[in-house]
């Protein structure tokens, strides 16, 4: 599985978009969102800023703050990993530009990355981002949650990730997934999900519990206890069916 990074990834995206240059309907869209830019960071900054626009917050300020976040090498590397993972994991994704332009789960995740970047210095802006993304995409990720790199949020509708939740690198999250708390306790109260974990559609994982690396949670399952690494858990409440 070959991955592309930095200039190689951006050049591949440009090459792919050029394949559709004869489509008059989409020509202006591709030009404004991809072809007018020299790198992934600048193009994605404008795309995410467009998603966050409102009449109450000046657009120039949004573009500036999103741009600052996307100058972070760690964030850009995480985004590159996100694109690579989606391309290689999602059989419906045939081009590297698809997540960037058309996948709301990808857009919601990158908006979260901006919110998380600013959460200490500009908490109100971070909460604004959370609110806009929740309303626009039906994806609610708290700015204080910790999301790793190479995350695939597929379809995304109905995803809820709480304030103290942790999601490890290269994990996959399908629609309707909840990483929630229990009751009104303070402190660490949301799940800690390991690396390369699969959270299937409409699964609910709640409380201060741990999901081990490489675990798989079945669709519609309700998880209230720790799940060991390399296991599959299904049911209500979820039970390990292999180890």
Every domain of the chain with CATH number 2.160.10.10 lies at 145-243
The answer to whether the CB of 208 falls within 8 A of the CB of 163 is no
**CATH fold for the domain made of 145-243:** UDP N-Acetylglucosamine Acyltransferase; domain 1 (2.160.10)
Measured CA angle at 127 (ends 122, 133), to 5 deg: 130
How crowded is the C-beta side of 166, counted as CA atoms within 13 Å?
13
- pLDDT tens for the 243 residues of the chain, in order: 789 999 999 999 999 999 998 899 999 999 999 999 999 999 999 999 999 998 889 999 999 999 999 999 999 999 999 999 999 999 999 999 999 999 999 999 999 999 999 999 999 999 999 999 999 999 999 999 999 999 999 999 999 999 999 999 999 999 999 999 987 778 999 999 999 999 999 999 999 999 999 999 999 999 999 999 999 999 999 999 976
CA 87 to chain CA centroid, Å, is: 14
Closest CA to 4 of 86, 105, 83, 99: 83
User: Tell me: the pLDDT tens digits for 207-226?
Assistant: 999 999 999 999 999 999 99
- The CATH number of 1-139 is 1.10.3130.10
Every domain of the chain with CATH number 1.10.3130.10 lies at 1-139
User: Tell me: the pLDDT tens digits for 175-187?
Assistant: 999 999 987 778 9
């Amino acid at each position: 599985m070959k991955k592309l990074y930095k200039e190689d990834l951006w050049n591949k995206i440009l090459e792919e978009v050029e394949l559709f240059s004869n489509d008059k309907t989409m020509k202006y869209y591709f030009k404004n969102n991809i072809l007018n830019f020299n790198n992934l960071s600048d193009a994605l900054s404008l795309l995410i800023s467009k998603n966050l626009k409102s009449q109450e917050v000046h657009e120039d300020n949004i573009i500036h703050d999103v741009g600052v976040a996307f100058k972070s090498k760690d964030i850009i590397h995480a985004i590159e990993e996100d694109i690579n993972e989606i391309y290689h994991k999602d059989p419906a994704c045939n081009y590297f530009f698809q997540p960037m332009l058309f996948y709301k789960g990808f857009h919601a995740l990158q908006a979260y990355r901006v919110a998380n970047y600013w959460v200490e210095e500009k908490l109100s802006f971070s909460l604004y981002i959370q609110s806009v993304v929740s309303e626009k995409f039906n994806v609610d990720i708290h700015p204080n949650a910790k999301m790793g790199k190479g995350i695939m949020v597929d379809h995304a509708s109905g995803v809820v990730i709480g304030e103290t939740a942790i999601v490890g690198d290269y994990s996959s999250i399908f629609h309707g997934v909840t990483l929630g708390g229990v009751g009104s306790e303070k402190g660490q109260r949301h799940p800690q999900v390991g690396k390369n974990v699969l959270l299937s559609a409409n699964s609910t994982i709640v409380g201060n519990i741990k999901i081990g690396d490489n675990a798989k949670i079945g669709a519609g399952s309700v998880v209230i206890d720790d799940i060991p690494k390399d296991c599959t858990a299904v049911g209500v409440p979820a039970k390990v069916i292999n180890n």
